[in-house]
Amino acid sequence: MTTVSLTINGRAVTAEAEPRMHLADFIRETQTLTGTHLGCEHGVCGACTVLVDGVPVRSCITYAVACSGASVTTVEGLDDDEIGKELRAAFTREHALQCGYCTPGMLMSARDLVVRAPDADEHAIRVAMSGNLCRCTGYVGIVRAIQSVIADRRARGIAAVPGAGRTALGPAGSGHGEAIAARVAAPAVTAAVVSREPAAVSESLADWQPQTRFARSFVVNHAVDAVWDFFADTGAVAVCLPGASVSGDTSARNVAGKMRIKVGPITAEFHGAAEIDRDPLTKSGTIQGSGRDRRSSSATRGVIRYRLLPQGDGATEVELDVGYRLTGPLAQFSRSDLVNDIASRLIAAFAQNVEARLSGTAATAPAAELNAGRLFFSVLAERIKTRLSHLFGRRDG
């Protein structure tokens, strides 16, 4: 047994827990706070959602011991919360529940959305809430209730708080996880990846807005024509991206493929198709794709644009603009701060693989899946290390 001390709904709590006990059981069994419901216990349905340090997390896949020192808010903690009250009134008014089993998780996720959503766009609300499943009442009333609370608050001059005001990121309880940081070594990122402003959305894609966008560039030590020819072979390019693979004629305009992603206990395999356009004059191209993972009922649609720019020393700069929309249980993987960090690491791995393939030194087999969870922890470990070095640096000074 391990002693876990944390704050729940503003109250300091200490209790014994098995290392394997998840946070939902800890909350329900040691504190008798039974408002947090358990549906699937696999991180899929969202019924168990609570806030850990202000961030919605699935308490069924979060170890209680990982939350030592954290501040946890359950649905009971929203009793006197202004947004909680507004949401409850709206759920009642809009008939947004029937059996009510999903409602605690819905309220926790909705509260987060009400704080950070700039406006009451119905589609954006549906996407943001797609990780919370309701088995009986349907989503019309739920979406309408959330929409009305956001609209009402914006009309009253209460502005959205970008990212809900978070300054720290990482998995639940991670802000207190120095021990985790010490155990997990961040992989070396040797390729220089630079953040850029995303380019303007092209006319043909103007009717589709990605939920998440990022832009990066990197340099490979090969002439632009060699890189251009390499990018013509979608199969070779896919091999450089951890978890991606394509099948059939990999030089065709339309290719079929799949992407394996692992986030915590969820392994998703997105099967889909992509359409590829290339412009030899500008050495640029667009890859538009969509895919679906049957097991987690998650779906994605994305666009990657690239442009090759010759450098004076015979090298080539590769500019990438990536935009995507993710729905379903994996939609939480779209949170912007996290995506930005993970994108840099993913593209650094891609850049290294492209460089190795072009140099004929690619000895290792492609990664079978993109382990987003591992990237999560490596991002976290690096951030904590940076913070600690700043702290000790100040003390030394």
- What does the alpha-carbon distance between residue 62 and residue 263 come to, in Å, rounded to a whole number? 13
Name the minimum Å distance from CB 103 to ligand FES: 6
Count of alpha carbons within 13 Å of 80, Cβ hemisphere only?
A: 2
Closest CB to ligand FES among residues 48, 347 = 48
Q: Is 295 in the site for ligand FES (CB under 6 A)?
A: no
Q: Which residue's structure tokens are 């009986």?
A: 136
In three-state secondary structure terms, 263 is strand
Residue 32 has a CB neighbour count (10 Å cut-off) of 7
First to last CA, the chain: 41
Q: Is 56 in the site for ligand FES (CB under 6 A)?
A: no
Q: Which stretch binds ligand FES (CB under 6 A): 45-53, 79-87, 200-208, 372-380?
A: 45-53
- What does the alpha-carbon distance between residue 270 and residue 243 come to, in Å, rounded to a whole number? 10
Q: Is 44 in the site for ligand FES (CB under 6 A)?
A: yes
- What does the alpha-carbon distance between residue 226 and residue 359 come to, in Å, rounded to a whole number? 11
DSSP line for 188-237: P--S--EE-PPPPPPGGGTT---SEEEEEEEEESS-HHHHHHHHH-HHHH
Closest CB to ligand FES among residues 103, 147 = 103
- What does the alpha-carbon distance between residue 334 and residue 339 come to, in Å, rounded to a whole number? 6
Query: What part of residues 87-106 is at the interface with ligand FES (CB under 6 A)?
Result: 97-102
Closest CB to ligand FES among residues 127, 158 = 127
Name the minimum Å distance from CB 27 to ligand FES: 12
Closest CB to ligand FES among residues 66, 193 = 66
Q: Is 47 in the site for ligand FES (CB under 6 A)?
A: yes
> What residues are paired with 263 via a beta bridge?
266
Name the minimum Å distance from CB 203 to ligand FES: 40
Closest CB to ligand FES among residues 99, 179 = 99
Q: How is residue 339 written in tokens? A: 């995506």
Q: Is 29 in the site for ligand FES (CB under 6 A)?
A: no
Q: Is 267 in the site for ligand FES (CB under 6 A)?
A: no
Residue 141 phi, psi (nearest 5): -65, -40
Closest CB to ligand FES among residues 128, 354 = 128
Looking at 21, 26, 35, 58, which residue binds ligand FES (CB under 6 A)?
58
Q: Is 140 in the site for ligand FES (CB under 6 A)?
A: no
Q: Which stretch binds ligand FES (CB under 6 A): 40-48, 211-219, 279-287, 310-318?
A: 40-48
- What does the alpha-carbon distance between residue 219 and residue 318 come to, in Å, rounded to a whole number? 6
Looking at 13, 31, 41, 273, which residue binds ligand FES (CB under 6 A)?
41
Q: Is 48 in the site for ligand FES (CB under 6 A)?
A: yes
Q: Is 134 in the site for ligand FES (CB under 6 A)?
A: yes
Characterize the bridge pairing of strands 254-263 and 370-371: parallel
- Burial call 354-381: b when 16+ CB within 10 Å, e when fewer: bbebbeeebeeeebebbbbbebbbbbbb
Closest CB to ligand FES among residues 85, 135 = 135
Closest CB to ligand FES among residues 28, 345 = 28
Q: How many residues bind ligand FES (CB under 6 A)?
A: 22
Q: Is 123 in the site for ligand FES (CB under 6 A)?
A: no
Choose among 377, 11, 390, 389: nearest CA to 170. 377
Name the minimum Å distance from CB 125 to ligand FES: 16
What's the distance, CA 264 to chain centroid? Answer: 12
Closest CB to ligand FES among residues 39, 163 = 39
Looking at 30, 34, 40, 315, which residue binds ligand FES (CB under 6 A)?
40
- What does the alpha-carbon distance between residue 124 and residue 7 come to, in Å, rounded to a whole number? 32
Query: What part of residues 305-344 is at the interface with ligand FES (CB under 6 A)?
Result: none
Q: Is 226 in the site for ligand FES (CB under 6 A)?
A: no
Where on the chain is the footprint of ligand FES (CB under 6 A)?
38-41, 43-48, 58, 60, 97-102, 134-137
